[in-house]
Structure 1
């Protein structure tokens, strides 16, 4: 054949075909004649990508050998990502070094839950922003920020509050809502979800079917928020409007079904709920849920098992999971499994009965953080905070005595330190609370690198608490803490105020200008109304606050209450002063004088410095007793008494 491979490839490139399936047919027809045509192989792979046949695209590129992989490296990485192999895609894209490769690596890192790496890539891409990709970058960056919040890495998020640009598109508004929900700002999240719905409905370039597909995840998230806010009936009604079968994403479809069961206002059949919840999550690939979602879904499955009275099986299965992880640790999944295991041993009991059933389990797993915190919570709920403090103190003492660095990190983890300090605070043990926070702050001050999440919040709480301590070492530690916090974030008003309060003499004078003026802080306070309202007193019952009213000079004196005649004695004379000892018994009054010899003798005994009764005048001396002699009883010395009357 006189036609060369190059001429066929150039002919294929010159064809004006808009249908990707026709391009695929043309490439395949060329490959039937020339199997090694690199250009035709590349065109075939791109056509398969355009047709969303990502698995076939991966096979076509791999069949082309090393040359095609090297030429179509970006296409190969993208095909792997879309085919549910993000780890391989990220590895290939990392070797590219160009802007397109960074896009693919960022998306693949997001899918593999390497959110920190994804955030770094999107920040780098944003620094070289192009107008045509600005919207996509904003959407993807918002999604990464939300996932950082969900995964407990919220300190890496640079933008906490949504900006005006985030409220102009439903995708960015939805991502901003997810970030608020992850931080626990449920009210703000609900507002942003409604905004995202309105923006999506207002789009004119989307068909009704596409709008419904975009609205489904937003509605599923709304059901979750309403259930968390306690608005159960609204959540149940909205969940019934969701048709889970129309959701294309497998993991979102399963989450919608689970949320519908959880939001149900009526008591559903636990066995039916167990059937819906107990689905193998591995079958959801490639749309598998993230790790934090898997942890929640697994806990839901165990919860339905407990409702179905499967205590033994739940205890055994959770024990098998816990045995694969070292203890102690602060992993959320492991500690969640410990709570489920404790609930299985408690067998639906609560309070003191549950504590009796769980304490033997603690003897077998003394370093289980989740189990210890579960028992502490039960002690607190049963009103026994002293036992909770004693149990947690012993647990922390054992970890502190360990020479292992991993156990020391668990000992001074922000969650455990915060729990211990909170227990001390509720009992009014301020010195113990300050010592606990000071020990934790000193530990993390020595560890400036690889700090876990929440350490900065712990340092801030420790610095605020140590400001009230009279100990000089605590004051020095507070100054060191706020100096570090201010250097890390000069715009942090709490760190600035703490630095000024801890070292007013050495703090720079220009720091006060960055704080809110006092006049502005107290501008809305009405001092006269507060003064007239009186002083607040400690509540006698939880949730009830009493106030002592302020004294009013213009207030008329109260009239004395009139005594009812039935309560007035018969010989009562209002002109006479009543006896102040009238409430005492007669013998205890100062006017009491005993009568008779026995009475006088008894009075002498009770009076200080009185002579004994035997030496007083007129008394008869007592008869001296005979000497007691120990010996054998005499034989036959006396007559036996008869059986008559005695």
Structure 2
């Protein structure tokens, strides 16, 4: 043991902080003489971790047995985390105790395992600890914003939003980058682009980073900036950024994969489909040490299907997607499953459009009646074809099938805000107010029975407002219940409070008396409104409202005298201004005084028009024809009956 300590002492005297390779060589010399030397194994493990040789560090710890494992639990957990063995890393970090280092490792492992709820809770506990240093607090803020961005990308609700730093205090480039990622996940690309520029500027101005470190840190920022430009359709800006980047020089696997896929959409976008397929097939694939997140893998899978469809590999896409879809026979809101249904539908249509595509998808729906993704494809095809009634019928039939199952997971899909919104929007295009209120009422009644934390507040608000504007007393009663429910959940919600007061003000004024005081007085709301000016200017209805009003049978308001268009007076051709105008010029020819009938029939017709002639009695009783009696004439009341031809053989 003395020899080991003496050798280590000499080693440390010769080495510097960056001489990890030399330390490992010296440890190997000692371990050849004493294989179970714990001190040498300990130092070698640390050196390997410093060199990012995590698999080798794990191997040394395993060779050291329980003694070394008990001595280096934190290092072992960290090495396992960096090697992609997340479950083992989390279990060991949890068993260590309340140490801050172990908590950080546990949070990092949970983050990579996409357990963002657990990650957020750990960071909340660490942030509340008053013993944290200023540097650690900065790291915590960076990690919290990264976790928040991942939660949004994963489609999860925010649980640590109150811990995210204020936007005006984003003076660290990592924090600015993570907040930009949040905006990207929400689809706010312009805000994201501004924050990415800020992040780049802060990184370039940092005095703590070497030129090499700056280059490494700037690369993922630029990659995200390229993505934002692509989403905005600014291909030239994306080309300019990706041009200097050589994906082959990128060492981080996940960043390299994203960069290569961006290149397919920028510099390689004009390649023919078969060359693009070849380029995509040669891109990198994730490894265990640097795994992509689930949503990233999902996007890569979709890209692969798009490329396959471009090169007409319809059968392959159909078989692959059908195999996965067969494992999910029930209806689901999973975006990855429903997107597979879209690719499956595209493969079955094989590029067909219009009615041909509708016919093929309709037959496919019969085999998968609960496939929400497939239903949406069929609805979209009907809408694109201009057949709104068919689109509505498709959604209504799907809704009835799902409701008949009485399975709560299926009912969650049936009354999901997205599905309800699509059906309500289709109803609106046809002015079906009763159907809209019925749909919103059913959805609201379903969600009111669920846990408040899982209730879609926006859907409940929309339902309450729409039902309250109805003329049906049952709808108004339902709206009052929804407003009361929303107000009980959050009495600071001004929309819910206003609706609660409005719906109960007449029936139960005492119930809303305290709530009225929390709302802004009417005098305050209309203080800046100039009523006189409004009355003088009149109220101009929006074009869409005007059209809707006209469709409902409302009369168009007469235009002002100044705006009336004068009718154009048509002048007669070759008119002599000195000649007297015939006063009977507007009368039919036979009614003019100058008209003289010609022939036997013409004279008979003229006699029939003479007043005082004999009237046919059959005409008087209303059952006879208008033909005049022989030997006399009759008064003609006008109309087509007098001009009706006689049948053959009659005189």
**Which band: TM-score by shorter chain?**
0.7 to 0.9
2:58 partner SS: helix
Matches within 5 A, 1:80-479: 80-98=80-98, 99-128=100-129, 130=132, 131-159=134-162, 163-164=166-167, 166-264=169-267, 267-278=270-281, 283-448=286-451, 451=454, 455-479=456-480
1:636 aligned residue: none
Match for 1:609 among 615, 618, 621? 621
Distance (whole Å) between structure 1 residues aligned to residue 380 and residue 112 of structure 2: 36
2:649 aligned residue: none
RMSD (Å) for aligned C-alpha atoms: 4.3
Distance (whole Å) between structure 2 residues aligned to residue 212 and residue 524 of structure 1: 59
Rate the CA distance shift 1:190–1:34 in 2: closer, same or farther, 3 A.
same
Match for 1:596 among 593, 599, 604? 604
Match for 2:543 among 519, 537, 540? 537
How far off its partner does 1:429 sit? Answer: 1.4
Kept in 2, the 8 Å contact 1:535–1:549? The answer is: no
How far off its partner does 1:388 sit? Answer: 0.4
- Stretch moving more, 193-202 or 104-113: 193-202
Indicate whether 1:61 and 2:67 are aligned.
no
1:42 aligned residue: 42
Rate the CA distance shift 1:95–1:307 in 2: closer, same or farther, 3 A.
same
Distance (whole Å) between structure 1 residues aligned to residue 155 and residue 331 of structure 2: 19
Deviation readout 1:267-303 (Å, 9 max, x if unpaired): 3221222223346875433222111111111111111
Distance (whole Å) between structure 2 residues aligned to residue 494 and residue 225 of structure 1: 34
Distance (whole Å) between structure 1 residues aligned to residue 584 and residue 40 of structure 2: 122
Indicate whether 1:563 and 2:575 are aligned.
no
Q: What's the TM-score, normalizing by structure 1?
A: 0.81
Kept in 1, the 8 Å contact 2:145–2:164? The answer is: no
Distance (whole Å) between structure 2 residues aligned to residue 387 and residue 187 of structure 1: 38
1:643 aligned residue: none
Distance (whole Å) between structure 2 residues aligned to residue 559 and residue 166 of structure 1: 65
Kept in 1, the 8 Å contact 2:141–2:165? The answer is: no
How far off its partner does 1:460 sit? Answer: 3.1
How far off its partner does 1:459 sit? Answer: 2.5
Matches within 5 A, 1:565-584: 565-566=572-573
How far off its partner does 1:461 sit? Answer: 2.8
Rate the CA distance shift 1:333–1:132 in 2: closer, same or farther, 3 A.
same
Rate the CA distance shift 1:374–1:560 in 2: closer, same or farther, 3 A.
closer
Distance (whole Å) between structure 1 residues aligned to residue 229 and residue 168 of structure 2: 26
Kept in 2, the 8 Å contact 1:166–1:176? The answer is: no
Kept in 2, the 8 Å contact 1:417–1:436? The answer is: yes
1:272 partner SS: helix
- Stretch moving more, 410-419 or 185-194: 410-419
2:542 partner SS: strand
How far off its partner does 1:448 sit? Answer: 0.8
Distance (whole Å) between structure 2 residues aligned to residue 530 and residue 12 of structure 1: 97
Distance (whole Å) between structure 1 residues aligned to residue 466 and residue 168 of structure 2: 39
Distance (whole Å) between structure 1 residues aligned to residue 590 and residue 337 of structure 2: 69
Rate the CA distance shift 1:435–1:88 in 2: closer, same or farther, 3 A.
same
Distance (whole Å) between structure 2 residues aligned to residue 73 and residue 133 of structure 1: 21
Distance (whole Å) between structure 1 residues aligned to residue 446 and residue 162 of structure 2: 29
Q: Which runs of 5+ in 1 are unaligned?
A: 543-547, 587-591, 621-646
Rate the CA distance shift 1:598–1:517 in 2: closer, same or farther, 3 A.
same
How far off its partner does 1:5 sit? Answer: 8.8
2:630 aligned residue: 618
Rate the CA distance shift 1:466–1:532 in 2: closer, same or farther, 3 A.
closer
Kept in 2, the 8 Å contact 1:533–1:549? The answer is: no
- Stretch moving more, 604-613 or 85-94: 604-613
Distance (whole Å) between structure 2 residues aligned to residue 449 and residue 195 of structure 1: 39
2:96 partner SS: coil
How far off its partner does 1:479 sit? Answer: 4.1
Rate the CA distance shift 1:458–1:277 in 2: closer, same or farther, 3 A.
farther
How far off its partner does 1:28 sit? Answer: 4.0
Rate the CA distance shift 1:569–1:74 in 2: closer, same or farther, 3 A.
farther
Kept in 2, the 8 Å contact 1:534–1:550? The answer is: no
How far off its partner does 1:119 sit? Answer: 1.4
Kept in 2, the 8 Å contact 1:9–1:39? The answer is: no
Count of paired positions: 604
Distance (whole Å) between structure 1 residues aligned to residue 297 and residue 536 of structure 2: 51
How far off its partner does 1:159 sit? Answer: 4.7
Kept in 2, the 8 Å contact 1:605–1:613? The answer is: no
Distance (whole Å) between structure 1 residues aligned to residue 164 and residue 36 of structure 2: 55
How far off its partner does 1:216 sit? Answer: 1.7
Q: Which runs of 5+ in 2 are unaligned?
A: 549-555, 592-596, 610-614, 633-651
Distance (whole Å) between structure 2 residues aligned to residue 101 and residue 438 of structure 1: 50
Distance (whole Å) between structure 1 residues aligned to residue 363 and residue 405 of structure 2: 23
How far off its partner does 1:465 sit? Answer: 2.5
Matches within 5 A, 1:12-51: 17=15, 18=17, 19-51=19-51
How far off its partner does 1:245 sit? Answer: 2.4
- Stretch moving more, 297-306 or 506-515: 506-515
Kept in 1, the 8 Å contact 2:332–2:372? The answer is: yes
Kept in 2, the 8 Å contact 1:77–1:88? The answer is: yes
Distance (whole Å) between structure 2 residues aligned to residue 128 and residue 567 of structure 1: 103
- Stretch moving more, 533-542 or 41-50: 533-542
1:94 partner SS: helix
